[in-house]
Amino acid sequence: MPLLKSLICNQGRDSRVRTALVGLALVLVFLLYVALFVTATPMVRAAAGALVALPGAAVVLASARRRLNDSARPGTLAFVLLALWLAMAAAQLAAPFTGLAMVLAGLFALAVLALAALPESRLRARYAPGSEGHLGYSGPVDLSPLAAEPVSARQRVEPSMDGSEPTMTPLNPESTLDELYEAAESTNSYWDDEPKGPRLGETVGRLGNQLVPLIKRQSKALGAIGAAVVLGVLVLTFWPQTQSEQQTVEVPKPALKPTAPEFQHSVAMPDTYELLMNHDGLIIKWPGSRATQGELWSQLTAQGDRSCAEMRFNNNNRYRPIKVEVWPDDIYYAYFSPLDTADIVYDAAMRGNFRLCGYDFGLSGSMDTLRAHPAFALYTRR
């Protein structure tokens, strides 16, 4: 097919509009094709994607070379566009429509537009007719049959300056629009005068006039391809998942080692336990017997080891902990309300012992120990 041959032809020249249309159409077609295999396995998606990515790479390279020929730029620049295409295709096939893949797709589209924006060369072209050829392509592949449309037999009237009858010159019914355009514009030789580059609006208009008949002739095939793509996307989107696909394998998360409670002040008591203070809330820490890690007692739910429900001094003063927890290495933490901090610290300085969670704690020498720490000394005086 001549149109396909012109897409992979490395010789000749491409117009700005054709370069932009070919590059952007490649991106759109490739993204739609990848969408068909989003739910497929990576191996299947890569194999199927290569069937489009590799031929697309050939089209990208050839199109870039033709545009660079037309703008008199080094042909090696075409490999930059080829590298962007391959990077975009690899990213889309590895992780479809992710951030990196879409960024690469955008960069490729911008590179195509930048290539299309290069100015046209004033150098002589090897291929005639015209600076635009047919369908925006001028090269060894003849696209005139695709761009031609039937023209009815007409006559051109040559005006007469001496009042005689005007001369009627019959037009060839086989003449194409390009031949009529050239005949009307100038009778000078294409090779003798410098070609005048058409404006962008004229280029788009001429290319559109040439594409419309081609689209009309291939309307059934194009409609069938579009319907197949849309149907494939809908089928893959709403296809019911099998039971094996719905069952997700839950990978057990590694247990995170908990960190000890934070505190601002601490004082080590004589009987192998510590008093901690965090924002005026008192915490008692001590090493205990082996127990299940986690919450041992909760005042909120009144569930757990009831021996931890209260702290009792030898003078029968009692204080209820908010909760008691067991941490790694069998370290116990008992949390008390900030409202009880002053009374507990005072009793710890003045009393002889207290009992909590079945453990007896001595208070011998606690007065000197507490008064040596400024944060606790405040509560030992009344």
Give one DSSP letter per residue of 208-268, joined into a string.
HHHHHHHHHHTHHHHHHHHHHHHHHHHHHHHPPPPHHHH----PPPPPPPPPPPP-SEEEE
Q: Find, among 250, 226, 232, the residue nearest to 40 by Cα.
A: 232
Residue 280 has pLDDT above 50, yes or no: yes
pLDDT of the residue at 9: 83
Length of the chain: 382
60: containing domain = 2-120+133-147
The C-alpha R_g of the chain, in whole angstroms, comes to 43
Is 6 inside any structural domain?
Answer: yes
143/272 same-domain check: no
In this prediction, residue 50 has a pLDDT band, given cuts at 50, 70 and 90, of confident
More confident residue, 203 or 323: 323
Q: What is the C-alpha to C-alpha distance for residues 66 and 64, in angstroms, rounded to an integer? A: 6
CATH of the domain at 359: 2.60.40
pLDDT of the residue at 323: 92
Is 212 inside any structural domain?
Answer: no
Is 91 inside any structural domain?
Answer: yes
Is 256 inside any structural domain?
Answer: no
pLDDT of the residue at 293: 86
Is 244 inside any structural domain?
Answer: no
How many domains would you assign to the chain?
2
142/273 same-domain check: no
More confident residue, 191 or 291: 291
Least confident span in 5-19, 216-230, 272-286: 216-230
pLDDT of the residue at 233: 55
Query: Which tens digits make up the pLDDT trace of 127-184?
Result: 544 445 667 777 777 666 665 554 444 555 555 555 555 555 555 555 555 555 455 4
Is 229 inside any structural domain?
Answer: no
Is 348 inside any structural domain?
Answer: yes
